[in-house]
């Protein structure tokens, strides 16, 4: 995390380290899809949404205006999960035996606590997130003026944050159900949805030739010439964001 964003005018920390400014997203019949971050979420009924970000890394903004003044806002953001980001988390958070989402939440809560902003305990997210391969946790935040609920999820290459903000505890409670509905539907896109083939080992074809120009297994071939030998090579290993960090 290189910086904390104050989203929606509230002191809610959203860890963002986005370098790209392009947005590749779609909003169709309340279903929001970000191909850049490979995410999909269903916008709650009655909420207005836009995929035009106000801050770098903020990929979806949802608003709900109610006659009784209990307005609410929900924002979705994402950042690449890198070793540098992981090593920016406090050592006590990284050393925890908890899950990666809990360690991420621990790092955010530490930043907020340092700003004297009250945060609630970390709670487990919905099972739907875990089943989709992107487990989540959430916690509540308030600075005495704005009240929020922040959920964070971790994928192998992304840190994702979903934040509900309201002007009072009562208003936050009014919108909690919509927030939970959005969180349950938050999931990564599948290769099929991205229009990509399923990952397969890389293959190279090598022709082994002897000094006489005949493959070594030609004697076993009726024609006297053997076909090419195919060797499957494992895909290049991805760099795991979780690992040793320099002493702080």
CATH number at residue 76: 3.40.1000.10
pLDDT value of residue 194: 83
Q: State pTM to two decimals.
A: 0.73
What's the maximum distance between 2 C-alpha atoms anywhere in the chain?
Answer: 89
45 by Cβ neighbours in 10 Å (0-12 / 13-18 / 19+) ranks as exposed
Q: Residue 101: give the domain boundaries.
A: 3-188
Higher pLDDT, 170 or 102: 102
Instruction: Tell me the pLDDT tens digit for each residue of 108-118.
Output: 999 999 999 99
Sign of CA dihedral 101, 106, 109, 115: negative
Instruction: Tell me the pLDDT tens digit for each residue of 61-92.
Output: 999 888 777 889 999 999 999 999 999 999 99
Phi first, then psi, for residue 172 (nearest 5°) are -60, -40
Q: What are the C-alpha distances in Å from 228 to residues 218, 221, 232?
A: 11, 12, 13
Does 209 fall in a domain? no
d(CA 19, CA 141): 27
Residue 149 pLDDT > 70, yes or no? yes
Does 7 fall in a domain? yes
Number of domains present in the structure of the chain: 1
Instruction: Tell me the pLDDT tens digit for each residue of 194-220.
Output: 886 655 544 333 333 333 444 444 434
Does 173 fall in a domain? yes
Q: How confident is the model at residue 106 (pLDDT cuts 50, 70, 90)?
A: very high
Q: Which of 94, 82, 61 has the alpha carbon at shortest distance from 162?
A: 61
Residue 155 pLDDT > 50, yes or no? yes
196 by Cβ neighbours in 10 Å (0-12 / 13-18 / 19+) ranks as exposed
Does 210 fall in a domain? no
């Amino acid at each position: 995390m290189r910086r904390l964003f104050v989203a929606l005018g509230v002191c809610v920390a959203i860890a963002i380290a986005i370098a790209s400014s392009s947005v590749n997203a779609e909003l169709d019949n309340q279903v929001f899809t970000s191909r850049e971050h490979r995410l999909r979420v269903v916008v709650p009924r009655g909420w207005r949404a836009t995929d035009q970000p106000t801050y770098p890394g903020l990929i979806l903004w949802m608003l709900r205006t109610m006659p009784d003044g209990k307005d609410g806002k929900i924002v979705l953001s994402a950042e690449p999960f890198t070793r540098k980001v992981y090593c920016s988390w406090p050592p006590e958070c990284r050393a925890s035996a908890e899950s990666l989402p809990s360690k991420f939440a621990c790092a955010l809560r530490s930043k907020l606590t340092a700003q004297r902003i009250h945060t609630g305990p970390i709670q487990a997210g919905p099972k739907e997130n875990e089943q989709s391969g992107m487990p989540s946790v959430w916690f509540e935040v308030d600075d005495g003026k704005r009240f929020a609920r922040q959920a964070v999820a971790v994928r192998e290459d992304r840190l994702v944050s979903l934040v509900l903000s309201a002007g009072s505890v009562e208003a936050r409670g009014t919108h909690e159900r919509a927030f939970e509905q959005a969180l349950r539907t938050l999931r990564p896109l599948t290769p099929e949805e991205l229009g990509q083939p399923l990952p397969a080992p890389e293959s190279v074809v090598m022709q082994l030739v002897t000094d006489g120009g005949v493959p070594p297994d030609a004697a076993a071939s009726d024609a006297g010439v053997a076909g090419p030998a195919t060797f499957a090579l494992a895909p290049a290993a991805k760099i795991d964001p979780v690992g040793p960090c320099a002493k702080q």
